[in-house]
Amino acid sequence: MTALDTIKDTVEKNDVVLFMKGTKMMPQCGFSSRVAGILNYIGLEYADVNVLADAEIRQGIKDFSEWPTIPQLYIKGEFVGGCDIVTEMTLSGELDQLLEAKGVAFDKEAAGKIREANQG
């Protein structure tokens, strides 16, 4: 099984997957930490894949998505984006809409609190 096969399999078998540096409990970079923090805060169940543990996965995920940076969030097999996109979608409410449209459970009240805390 190649790295791309493993990635495809992981993305297809899990409703939500975050390819990140580190783990959801111990992120190893600020961008991964921010996305994991958002997902953890809104109570989203997700699989985390530590790209630092496997160089082939680390490069493979960039090839798979044609996206150069990590973290990368997938919801129901669809590439959503990295840190900036996930942050913007959280603040605009788009992430809530996507999760609802895909039938993925999350804490709507917590998502609302993130928006309230970030209104300038």
Task: Show the beta-strand stretches assigned E in 16-111.
Answer: 16-20, 47-50, 72-75, 78-81
pLDDT in tens, 28-66: 999 999 999 999 999 999 999 999 999 999 999 999 999
CATH code for the part of the protein at 3-117: 3.40.30.10
Confidence of residue 120 (pLDDT cuts 50, 70, 90): low
Strands 16-20 and 72-75: antiparallel
Domain boundaries, the chain: 3-117
3-state SS class at 18: strand
pLDDT in tens, 61-117: 999 999 999 999 999 999 999 999 999 999 999 999 999 999 999 999 999 999 999
